[in-house]
Copies of this chain bind each other. A is one copy, B any other.
Amino acid sequence: MYVTIPDQDAISTPLPPLSGTLPKTTETRLKPGNFLYFEGDEVAWLYQVTSGVVRLSRLLADGRRQVIAFGYPGDIIGFPKDGLHHTDCESLTAARLQPFRRSHLENGEGDPQLHHALLQAALREISAMQDHFMMLGRKSATEKLASFLCVLMERVGEDLGAYRQFTLPMSRSDIADFLGLTTETVSRTFTQLRKSKVIAIDNNHTIIVQKPTALVSLSLGDRD
């Protein structure tokens, strides 16, 4: 599943590696800024992110952009629509990905277990995206950013005593385009969370959550 915004009690465990029983295809490696594919490309492979973080996004004709999801280790990316990719995929960090032939998804030939796992990943993605709808449609800027940080805290945060810490490989404008906000609003909201001591920011890309409970409350829309 992608990093999208689940309901409070729906924290899903990331998919374990789909090692499979097949002869392994050799891993794909990406450098920061490299694209794995573009919208409209023929889908030959699906990928499970092994390490690193990738960004899936789409462009509107007038230049507006929507970041659809960030792919973290365990996530499956590249589900086709009519055989084509419907997003761009760019790596935000050095990344490694395990490819799976599209045919393993579309006709289970050879490895029914893999087929089933890929199908389940697709179904999870549908559900995850529905969670994300909630957020884009119904939440304030503070709730959106808090929700986003909560997911990362749960998923990739490291314990630091009572605090939790993680890095943000994406830019402020990536976050803005993911949450349906402007970079200015994202920045202001970060400042506000920092000033209220819910989080501390190091380096602009390292977040230390000082009040995890407060962050969760904010994400759910409780007043302050």
Contact = CB atoms under 8 A, between A and B. Distances in A.
For chain A, the bracket of interface size reads 35 or more
B107 A116 contact: yes
Contacts of A7: 60
A127 B81 contact: yes
Interface in A19-71: 58, 60-62, 64, 66, 68
Interface in A94-144: 105-108, 112, 116, 119, 122-127, 129-130, 132-134, 136-138
A103 B147 CA distance: 35
A137 B79 contact: no
Copy tally for this chain in the complex stands at 2
A79 B129 CA distance: 13
Contacts of A220: 61-62
Interface in A165-190: 177, 179-180
B123 A66 contact: no
A119 B106 contact: yes
A68 B116 contact: no
B81 A133 contact: no
A179 B133 CA distance: 10
Contacts of A8: 61
Contacts of A108: 108
A119 B106 CA distance: 7
A107 B12 CA distance: 23
Interface core residue of A68, A105, A116, A137 (most chain B CB under 10 Å): A137
6 contacts: A58-B130, A80-B123, A86-B130, A126-B126, A132-B133, A136-B180
